[in-house]
Amino acid sequence: MPDATVQKIHQWLRDHEQELLDDFRQMLRIPSLEGPAEPNAPFGKENRQALDLALSLGKKFGMRTKDLDGYIGYAEVGEGPLVMALGHLDVVPVGPGWKHEPFGAEIDGGYVYARGATDDKGPTMASFYAIRAIKECVPELPFRLRQAFGCNEESGFGCVHHYVQVDEAPVFGVAPDSMWPLVNGEKGISNLSISLPLNSGAFRLLEAAGGQRPNIVIDSCEAKVKVDASVRAEIESKLADAWDKNVTWKWSGDVLEIKAVGKAAHGSTPYYGDSAAARAFRFLLSLAPVPDAEYFRDLFYSTHPSGSGIGIHGRDDVSDDLTSNLGIVTTSEGRLRLLFNVRYPVTWNGDHLRDLCLKYLKDLDGWTLDEFTDSPSLYFPLDHPLVSTIVDVYEEETGEHEEPGVMGGGTYARAVPNTVSIGTSWEGDGKAHETDERIKIENLYKASRIYGHILYRLGRLAEKG
């Protein structure tokens, strides 16, 4: 049974559930996709609009607020050592196939549907309200609680990189953006930009394009191939037997145009999606005459989610297997360009990953690694007080003992000292980055109460030093 103060915090949150829901839906209606930089809005006007709403709510709630040059802002209460919750207001692109208006915040069957419902506006607003509840229930707070509102989590972490340069690190931090009870290990994340020459031959790739972000499974991919008259009959015969109903095609003179559709998913779990790029390249491989087949075989193999097709497959005992997501396909200057988003084991480092890739590409004709970015892995041992406290609170709140997890997703925890990511949702809530993203209203309320307990306990721990 939680202590009396925590019970009081819980009751305040129950009494203000409708208010939380209303503010949450107001935030969801802002299409906070990254856009062109403007003054005091480095990530675009819609992200600026979302940040302004959050800061205005903080002022309304009687909190101290600060805007860090439009990169990130926060609302704060209390005095003393700092405990911080970090959420983000930016979202990934919508993509096709939605049944609900992506920024309509519609309620249907007890769920709120919108891009950002679970990733990460719902958890951010829930932890924001948890801090507000603690403020109202413990007026003389002997520690500080800060809710940060980032604006660039989905495409670069520029917001928190700016934060750590200009403001203080927390004694303890939580990023509500993962799984329950918490993630104590986050795999390293690298983007590998690989290119290869467009092939020559009777079945010649002219261009291919697909994808929105490196960390989203490609759900639509198009390609054009020039077919010489000498192989036209062979290709026509193979097209007559084509079996993949998710690939459509048409002729434009001697150019075969194809379009493949798949299913989007988070790049850290590519196996939950269905890569349209993989479908497109497999389809072309099935058509290719023997002299051209090796080119398309290598191309198709590169899409394998294990990373084996670019030579980087591996695992460790802490975080299991590496995953690779081909997130963007483009064509320029006579080369096909492939951008892979890779989540590598926590015991590896970026140099090892890059070396594996370079060694493999040496044996492929004209394939080069053109750009490489790396965000190192994160790991906290099970006996770390930040970890053990969150595990204990979750068990008190739910009656369930759950061990911390390791994941391929990257959160603010990897960029801010003394921080781990914690859970956001439960069974039935929509997965991040997928169509018709949703969160159950009761789960939003439940999360706010757990966040309140976690933040209060961590504050008391920070106060004791």
Q: How many domains does the chain have?
A: 2
- Amino acid at position 281, single letter: F
At 379-418, the pLDDT tens digits run 998 999 999 999 999 999 999 999 999 988 789 999 999 9
Question: Closest Cα partner for 287 from 222, 376, 225, 221?
Answer: 225
At 274-330, the pLDDT tens digits run 999 999 999 999 999 999 999 999 999 999 999 999 999 999 998 999 999 999 999
- Amino acid at position 67, single letter: D
For residues 182 and 203, membership in a common domain is answered with no
For residues 195 and 318, membership in a common domain is answered with yes
For residues 168 and 38, membership in a common domain is answered with yes
Neighbours of 436 (CB within 10 A): 16
- Amino acid at position 191, single letter: N
For residues 391 and 322, membership in a common domain is answered with no
Question: Closest Cα partner for 279 from 326, 328, 246, 302?
Answer: 246
For residues 59 and 156, membership in a common domain is answered with yes
- CATH code for the domain in which residue 327 is found: 3.30.70.360
For residues 201 and 333, membership in a common domain is answered with yes
For residues 159 and 280, membership in a common domain is answered with no
Question: Closest Cα partner for 431 from 269, 191, 320?
Answer: 269
For residues 195 and 326, membership in a common domain is answered with yes
For residues 46 and 114, membership in a common domain is answered with yes
This prediction has a pTM of: 0.76
At 134-167, the pLDDT tens digits run 999 998 999 999 999 999 999 889 999 999 999 9
Kindly list the distances between the CA atom of residue 275 and the CA atoms of 219, 221, 408, in Å, as whole numbers in the listed order: 6, 9, 18
> Which string of b and e fits 11-33 if b means at least 16 CB within 10 Å?
ebbeebbeebbebbbebbebbbb
- CATH code for the domain in which residue 90 is found: 3.40.630.10
Range 39-63 average pLDDT? 98
Mean pLDDT across the chain: 96
42 pLDDT more than 70: yes
**Cα–Cα distance measured from residue 216 to residue 266, given in angstroms and rounded to the nearest whole number:** 5
**Cα–Cα distance measured from residue 243 to residue 92, given in angstroms and rounded to the nearest whole number:** 32
Q: Which of 323, 342, 375 is the last residue of a domain?
A: 375
Q: Which of 330, 353, 375 is the last residue of a domain?
A: 375
For residues 145 and 207, membership in a common domain is answered with no
Question: Domain residues for 340?
Answer: 189-375
For residues 183 and 322, membership in a common domain is answered with no
Q: Which of 350, 375, 400 is the last residue of a domain?
A: 375
Range 206-228 average pLDDT? 96
For residues 240 and 363, membership in a common domain is answered with yes
Backbone torsion region of residue 274, taken as left when φ is above 0, otherwise alpha when ψ lies between -120 and 50, otherwise beta: beta
